[in-house]
Amino acid sequence: MHRPLTPKETLYAMRIVSLRTAVLRIALACWASVCAAQTGGAGLPPARLTIDPGTIVSPVSPMLYGLMTEEINHSYDGGLYAELLQNRTFRGSWEGVEHWDLVRHGDSEAAMEVDRGSGPSQALPYSLKLSVSASAPGSQAGLTNSGYWGVALKPHTKYRGSFYAKADDASVGPVTARLISDKTGAVLAETAVALHGGDWSQYSFALTTGAIPLSTQNHMELTVAHPGTLRLQLVSLMQPTFHDRPNGNRPDLMERMAELHPTFLRLPGGNYLEGDTLRDWYNWKETIGPLVDRPGHQAPWSYWSTDGLGLLEFLEWCEDLKIEPVLAVYAGYSLRQQHVNPGKDLEPYVQSALDEVEYVTGDTSTKWGAERAKDGHPAPFPLHYIEIGNEDFFDRSGSYDARFAQFARALRKSYPQYKLIATTPVKESSADDQPDVLDDHYYKPWGDMLDFTHHYDDAPRTGPKIFIGEWATLSGTPTPNFGGALADAAWMTSMERNSDLIIMASYAPLLINVNGGQWGTNLIGYNGATSYGSPSYYAQALFAGHLGDGTPKATITGGGKRFYYSATVGSKDHVLHLKLVNASNEEQPLTIELQGAKGVHTAKAYTLHAATYEATNTINDPEFIHSTDSVIKVSGGSWKHAVPGLTIEVLDIPLD
């Protein structure tokens, strides 16, 4: 027990506390100045930002933020597309049939080989022949698939399996399908599929897990308990999909995309449209209809595309996210400097593009609209923009002017209502040959991206509009670090400011399976089981989620060299969306003058901050950097604010 202090002792104690506080304050101030000295800073010059929210000087495009993806980094196969088995069509290489192995329990005996002479369809005219010479109920033989870096399984989940099979004699069956833990050997789900003899037919089954841990370290087995011969093709195991779409997409990745508030999907994007050689172009007609009629094709980023996620699935993906497609049509140039000569040689490709637009937009009385209905989607899809090619500035033959013109004339004749996008400026020969929009791509290191943020400020407003169809700061692997997020945010302020000219933009690449990527910096990372958003992902979600429809008159004076802002006003909700990006590591003092606004407003603030440029999110630490919300008081007239170093702020300031 302590005795109570006398009044004198209390006074002394208070003095000691306040002395201690003063000493602490001085120490902190010294420490701060030492830090500032170490980082080379004497404080950033104050900035004065004057905004007149009542004077709108230019519009903000309603389609500014969108998505671009392609088959790179296992974006679709081994990513968004819900298939869990890898190499479901038994493509072979010198290493054998990749991702498939024989399984021989106990003393069972079996062999496997690719049978080029028998398959379930013209698109898949071959199969895997399993010859079982010894097998019994307790010691079965068959095949095992290791999935995409494991078969990711969740608890209490139903997986839909299917395969095409041809058994010389049905008595080789039934086929036992099992999901097995790699670590423990535990059977996590099991079912038997009875076979019938005769020709090729498709079999379906379901496997439902119980109270298992979420894990990627599993595999699937298909085995039989009797000797005999079994041919298999298109062996599939689908996880549950977004909106339960048959043959659809992985829910968590769809949700991550939805959180970016996109308005469009550029499809099929990037080099994936072109292929390495003319043989590998994105021939959309081979990506529609029953899966067994899709041969798949060699994608340019080193692996095979099943085309399970084909043209209709792209469009349904748009439908599920309530966004519209920006349709890219192959324009006769492939990456290894191969092109199709304009004129007669190009005609089949132009016809393919016309058919493709009809497949997307035609009603069911049209040939390709009817085909889409047959594929399960009678209603046409919305469309406003068609892009002709991808990065045709790489075509050293100089053939793009004529190729673009040939496509543009044909498309404009049949579909005058759509805007055409060129992938590089084209020489004018007639008004018809001029694009409505130009697609510019920018991949830049951190410093270069920051220095580039005024590129469009004085660009002419008389020519085509601009689509930034691919852009990214190259900082951080496999996903951007906080430095990347800061430069990306700075770049977004410039796109918003110039959105009378820049009507659409999409970051690229969007997706990466962290186990198998081909590109350094990508927005969203995942493995089979979980996904995460990079710091830049959160910055982009904030920017797109807080965007007005007009840019008000605004000026800034003073301020540090790496301080950026954008102001947009929502005409419906009367909110000023103010974005402040401090890419310096020192605090930015700021006076904000809101002209015409009176009284005190309560604004919502969304903040992203990190201690270093290198700080980042990872698959194992997915939320290390995330946005935090707070409320701040804002005075009409002028008010003082400070943006800490390495900080992105979005302020929603009500104007009423």
Between 439 and 649, whose beta carbon lies closer to ligand AHR? 439
How distant is the alpha carbon of residue 224 from its chain centre?
40
390 part of the interface to ligand AHR, by CB under 6 A: yes
Shortest distance (Å) from residue 283 CB to ligand AHR:
18
Cβ within 8 Å of residue 145, ≥6 positions away: 85, 86, 87, 99, 100, 151, 219, 220, 235
Instruction: Indicate the length of the chain as a whole number.
Output: 656
Cβ within 8 Å of residue 137, ≥6 positions away: 225
66 part of the interface to ligand AHR, by CB under 6 A: no
Rounded Cα distance between 31 and 324, Å, is: 53
Between 203 and 491, whose beta carbon lies closer to ligand AHR? 491
391 part of the interface to ligand AHR, by CB under 6 A: yes
Q: What amino acid is encoded at 237 in this protein?
A: L
Rounded Cα distance between 93 and 108, Å, is: 26
Between 178 and 266, whose beta carbon lies closer to ligand AHR? 266
Rounded Cα distance between 590 and 535, Å, is: 24
Between 467 and 519, whose beta carbon lies closer to ligand AHR? 519
Shortest distance (Å) from residue 297 CB to ligand AHR:
15
Of residues 47, 67, 70, 597, which one binds ligand AHR by CB under 6 A?
70
Contact predicate 421/438, CB 8 Å: yes
Shortest distance (Å) from residue 504 CB to ligand AHR:
15
Q: What amino acid is encoded at 476 in this protein?
A: G
Q: Compute how many residues bind ligand AHR; rule: CB under 6 A.
A: 10
Shortest distance (Å) from residue 411 CB to ligand AHR:
21
Site for ligand AHR in 583-622 (CB under 6 A): none
Between 272 and 349, whose beta carbon lies closer to ligand AHR? 272
Between 73 and 617, whose beta carbon lies closer to ligand AHR? 73
506 part of the interface to ligand AHR, by CB under 6 A: no
Rounded Cα distance between 215 and 578, Å, is: 42
Shortest distance (Å) from residue 270 CB to ligand AHR:
3
Looking only at the bridges linking them, the beta strands covering 324-329 and 304-305 are: unpaired
Which of 220, 196, 215, 329 lies closest to 266, judged by CA? 329
Residue with tokens 């040959």: 433
Which residue number places its CB atom closest to ligand AHR?
270
From residue 72 to residue 111, the character string flagging contacts with ligand AHR as x (rule: CB under 6 A) and all else as - is: x---------------------------------------
167 part of the interface to ligand AHR, by CB under 6 A: no
Of residues 128, 490, 508, 651, which one binds ligand AHR by CB under 6 A?
508
270 part of the interface to ligand AHR, by CB under 6 A: yes
Residue with tokens 């395969």: 163
Torsion of CA 225, 226, 232, 238, to 10 degrees: -20
Between 271 and 588, whose beta carbon lies closer to ligand AHR? 271
Of residues 140, 215, 271, 453, which one binds ligand AHR by CB under 6 A?
271
Contact predicate 408/432, CB 8 Å: yes
Site for ligand AHR in 511-550 (CB under 6 A): 519
C-beta neighbour count of 605 within 10 angstroms: 19
The half-sphere exposure of 573 on its side-chain side, counting CA atoms within 13 A, is 13
Rounded Cα distance between 78 and 76, Å, is: 6
Between 313 and 470, whose beta carbon lies closer to ligand AHR? 470
Shortest distance (Å) from residue 284 CB to ligand AHR:
17
Contact predicate 247/294, CB 8 Å: no
Of residues 509, 548, 570, 645, which one binds ligand AHR by CB under 6 A?
509
71 part of the interface to ligand AHR, by CB under 6 A: no
Provide the binding-site residues for ligand AHR, judged by CB under 6 A.
Answer: 70, 72, 270-271, 390-391, 470, 508-509, 519
